[in-house]
Amino acid sequence: MDNIKIYKSIVDDKQSTIRIDRFLAIAYPDISRSRIKSLLLDQQIRLNNQLIANPSYKVKAGDAIEMTIPETKDIDIVAQKMDLDIIHEDDDLIIINKKAGIVVHPAPGNYDNTLVNGLMYHCGDSLSGIGGVKRPGIVHRIDKDTSGLIVVAKSDTAHSGLSELFQKHDIERLYQAIIWGRPNPVDGSIEGNIGRHPVQRKKMTVVGMDSGKHAITHYKIIKSLSMAASLIECRLETGRTHQIRVHMTSMGHPLIGDQTYGNPTKNRLANLSKETQLFTRNFPRQALHAKSLGFTHPVSGEKLHFEAKIPDDMQGLINILHQ
């Protein structure tokens, strides 16, 4: 009971005629508007001593509003100690350089040893609660076998703000990938809706404009790696499931190591030594790395930019291909 918080406020003349959820979000900027809406629906807000569940109600001068925030609930996820590569951390968010092979969030088949399990252990009581639940706020994900930067919210306000930035595509995200072949042109944009594959349901694919989700990937070649492969940089304008992997495969240039979306042609392999052929065939994951992340801090307003160098396994792949 000690952790229950009660906020009381009176509407003045200048604040009348605005929605109650907006009034409360202005009065208490540390509480996100989405959280306020959920409190309204959960009957945790009283207007003039009467429960109110309508977020669009327009307040009037003299209205007395009482908002109760219940005790933050613990989530049923086991906290596990992990070796996290923390690039930045403050009261509201944390930036992790994720290793390849780590799943971001628990799901069927992966209930432990995920990034969330590790963050539950690392953050502990510094998690202020997302939507009333003490948990890390996942606003975007990178695939299990993709390495690189991911931002996670620690507070409800940061979670709401980061979600809005991603929704507006107002976040800079650059990836590095090693692909089969050499795209023509050497830089450009791939625009194509992405949806679930009609037959292979675990795969995504480029679909017609009347289905799936709009997706745009901007790419450019950073380095040619023999006649068989290229190191490219991709900037995401949207963030769809497997977007870079699907878009590059649609151009005929799948990522090296990507067992889901494509293998090299015989002609491309013929340009490689037997040693290099063996190395690329046995590369254990898609060669994809989330290199940089830039955005405006959703709480402080500070401009942030982070970079993570290409991991050793991908650098080794570059080296052997460039011989």
Known catalytic residues are 143
Closest by CA to 107, choosing from 71, 77, 129, 152, is 77
- Are the beta carbons of 208 and 250 closer than 8 angstroms? no
Buried b (16+ CB within 10 A) or exposed e, 139-173: bbebbbbbbbbbbbbbbbbbbbbbbebbeeeebeb
- Are the beta carbons of 155 and 91 closer than 8 angstroms? yes
* DSSP 8-state class, residue 13: G
d(C-alpha 99, C-alpha 261), whole Å: 21
Strand partners, 152: 94, 138
Number of neighbouring beta carbons within 10 Å of residue 40: 22
Phi and psi, residue 190, nearest 5°: -115, 120
d(C-alpha 206, C-alpha 133), whole Å: 36
Strand partners, 195: 205
